[in-house]
Structure 1
Amino acid sequence: MLILVTGATGKVGRRFIAGLLDDPRFSKARIRALCHNRLLPETGRVEVTKGSIADPHVAAAAMKDVTHVVHLATCKETPAAVMDVTVKGLFWLLEAFRTSATAQQFILIGGDAGIGHFYYRHEGPITEDTPHCAYPGSYALSKVLEEVMLDQFAIQYGINNCCLRAPWIMEKDDFKYTLSFGDDVFGGPDWKALVPQGDARRYVQAGTVPLLRDADGRPLKRNFVHVDDLVSAILAAIDNPRAKRQLFNICMDRPVDYGEVAAYLAHTRNLEAVDIPSQYHSNWMDNSKAKYLLDWQPSYDLERLIDSAWQYERSQDDPRIVWYPG
């Protein structure tokens, strides 16, 4: 088994590679890490190939002798690159995969941007049958195009594929910084831009957290997943016959409720919260299909997500570096 991992230096790529190498089920598996701007160290079971999937020659060379692909590479809000890297890059990988004599399974990590997450109102739980509805921007559009392209390659050429659709992926102290009113905020909304500057400075000093409210005035519900749970889902999908040509929502059992976050932080850490009104909409991703077909179960609930983020202590050789904002 030779697994090509794109986006290998990202938070999911690094954690997936470590998890697979430690898993006795994959003791004979080898990794080919396709790296672009950053590199991983090579080991006896990990080889590194450098280049961009936007180059069809790179994609073809990276696919040589590969049996499985875990495709993680993507672009965020970078219109100048997103079509070449995310869309054409996936096309070149799939073209090389479908003509390969060794290729067995292609796993794509999708995103809830493709179904609009909290930008649009959903009248019920978001399932794998929910229609695509990208929110404004190039990133969300690219997530729709990825899923559609993967599905069409399966229809056209009968390839064995699987898409794991993940919401916002957390690790280490990420979740703590999603609630910061400072410049160190991770992702969006940019809370300091939603309150007066003086208030934002006070909130940073006091550790005050935002209690985001949805368009109906209720505490907003938004979906998250911890990187460890996403990795366990990927491992569960590899060579699983029940994953063939399937799309799965991979998320926490319940969405994060900003009201529950505020209450838990007030109770456990004596932190205050401030209401932030919005026109966003609460939503609820349903992960039942992954539980049923993959026998997968997330291990992170709201309390564990919060506690792990606030208790995480960074060492000097582990600085907080955000390669992209969300």
Structure 2
Amino acid sequence: MLLLVTGATGKVGQVLLGRILSDPRWAETRIRAICHNRTLPPHARVESIRGSIADRDTVEAAMAGVTHVIHMATVKEDPQQAMDVSVKGMFWLLEAFRSSTTAEQFMLIGGDCSVGHISVAYDEPITETSPRRPYPGVYALSKVLEEVMLEQYYIQYDINGCCLRAPWIMEKDDFRYALSFGADQFGGPAWTEVISTEEQARYAGEGRVPLLIDSAGQPLRRSFIHVTDLVEAMLAALDNPAARQQLFNIAMNRPLDYGTVAAHLERSRGLHSVRIETPFHSNWLDNSKARHALNWEPAHDAISLVDAAFAYQRAADDPRKVWYVG
């Protein structure tokens, strides 16, 4: 297997490469990575190609002899780059894939922003057949366009592909900082959108954690996935006939409940919460299809996700880097 990976230097890519390179089941797998702004450490089974996937020549050179593609490269709210990477880049990848004599499977890692995650209300759990209802912004639009483009290549060219749609991906101490009222907050919501700067400063000084409340007045429920669980789902789908031309939601079995989290942190760590009213909607990204078809099961639930984040101790050579805010 010669696996082409885009986004290999990111949060998910680094874990994926480490997992493949250390697992005897994938001992014969070679990896080729398209790297744009960052580099990978040298490894006998890893080849790096410098360039952008928005460049057709770069993509065609990278696709030479490739059997499998995992496409993760993405950008956030940057209209120029989002269209270059998510539309033009994916188009060149798919064009090279469909015309290749060696290509066997194309895997896209999507995001739940294509269904609006907590910004859009759903009356039932969000499944793979739920309508795509992205929130405003170019990033959410780009993830919808990726999913639709892949589906059109199934229809037009009958390629073997799949899409794994993930919610907010957590690793190491991410969730601890997602609960911070300080300047080190990771992700959202931006506190200035829901509370005053004075309140934020006071809560930070008091060491509070947020108990987010949804639009219905109940503790917010939101889907997450730990990076290691996502990687295991990717490996479960890789070269799996059950994944052919399928879309899978990859999330924890149940959404994280901020009320449960607040109670657990007070009980286990003595951290007091503060109620934060938000306009967001509680949603449930249903992972039943992936569990059934791929025989995959996430190892993390809400409590283990929180405990892992608060217990994580960074080494001196492991500084916290946030490439994207969420």
TM-score, normalization by structure 2: 0.98
Q: Does the CA-based 8 Å contact 2:223-2:254 persist in structure 1?
A: yes
Q: How many angstroms apart in 2 are the aligned matches of 1:257 and 1:263?
A: 10
Three-state SS of the structure 1 residue aligned to 2:38 is: coil
Q: Does the CA-based 8 Å contact 1:181-1:192 persist in structure 2?
A: no
Q: How many angstroms apart in 2 are the aligned matches of 1:68 and 1:318?
A: 31
Q: How many angstroms apart in 2 are the aligned matches of 1:87 and 1:50?
A: 20
Name the counterpart of 2:299. Answer: 299
Shift of 1:193: 5.0
Name the counterpart of 1:36. Answer: 36
Three-state SS of the structure 1 residue aligned to 2:31 is: strand
Q: Does the CA-based 8 Å contact 1:191-1:210 persist in structure 2?
A: no
**Alignment deviations for residues 94-140 of structure 1 (CA, whole Å, 9 cap, x no partner):** 00000011100000000000001111110101000001111000000
Gaps of 5+ in 1: none
Three-state SS of the structure 1 residue aligned to 2:114 is: helix
Shift of 1:192: 5.0
Gaps of 5+ in 2: none
Number of residue pairs the alignment of both structures matches: 326
Shift of 1:227: 0.2
Name the counterpart of 2:247. Answer: 247
Q: Does the CA-based 8 Å contact 1:180-1:191 persist in structure 2?
A: no
Shift of 1:190: 1.3
Q: Tell me which amino acid in the other structure corresponds to 2:58.
A: V
Q: How many angstroms apart in 1 are the aligned matches of 2:191 and 2:311?
A: 22
Name the counterpart of 1:73. Answer: 73
Q: How many angstroms apart in 2 are the aligned matches of 1:121 and 1:162?
A: 26
Shift of 1:80: 2.0
Q: How many angstroms apart in 1 are the aligned matches of 2:156 and 2:80?
A: 29
Alignment partner of 1:21 is 2:24: no
Name the counterpart of 1:214. Answer: 214
TM-score, normalization by structure 1: 0.98
Q: How many angstroms apart in 2 are the aligned matches of 1:101 and 1:92?
A: 16
Name the counterpart of 2:289. Answer: 289
Name the counterpart of 1:113. Answer: 113
Three-state SS of the structure 2 residue aligned to 1:59 is: helix
Name the counterpart of 2:232. Answer: 232
Name the counterpart of 2:264. Answer: 264
**Alignment deviations for residues 161-183 of structure 1 (CA, whole Å, 9 cap, x no partner):** 01000000000000011111111
Alignment partner of 1:274 is 2:282: no
Shift of 1:155: 1.0
Q: How many angstroms apart in 1 are the aligned matches of 2:250 and 2:65?
A: 29
Q: Tell me which amino acid in the other structure corresponds to 2:238.
A: I
Three-state SS of the structure 2 residue aligned to 1:296 is: coil
Shift of 1:311: 0.6
Name the counterpart of 1:184. Answer: 184
Give the RMSD, CA atoms, in angstroms: 1.0
Q: How many angstroms apart in 1 are the aligned matches of 2:129 and 2:168?
A: 20
Alignment partner of 1:313 is 2:275: no
Q: Does the CA-based 8 Å contact 1:4-1:31 persist in structure 2?
A: yes
Name the counterpart of 2:172. Answer: 172
Taking the TM superposition and a 5 Å limit, the aligned residue runs for 1:44-123 are: 44-123=44-123
Alignment partner of 1:162 is 2:162: yes
**Alignment deviations for residues 188-246 of structure 1 (CA, whole Å, 9 cap, x no partner):** 10125533333322322332111111111100111100000000000000111100001
Three-state SS of the structure 1 residue aligned to 2:263 is: helix
Q: How many angstroms apart in 2 are the aligned matches of 1:255 and 1:299?
A: 14
Q: How many angstroms apart in 2 are the aligned matches of 1:133 and 1:267?
A: 38
**Alignment deviations for residues 62-118 of structure 1 (CA, whole Å, 9 cap, x no partner):** 111100001000111111211111111000000000001110000000000000111
**Alignment deviations for residues 243-292 of structure 1 (CA, whole Å, 9 cap, x no partner):** 00010000000101111111110110111111111111100011110011
Three-state SS of the structure 2 residue aligned to 1:94 is: helix
Runs of 4+ in 1 over 6 A off after TM superposition: none
Q: Does the CA-based 8 Å contact 2:120-2:134 persist in structure 1?
A: no
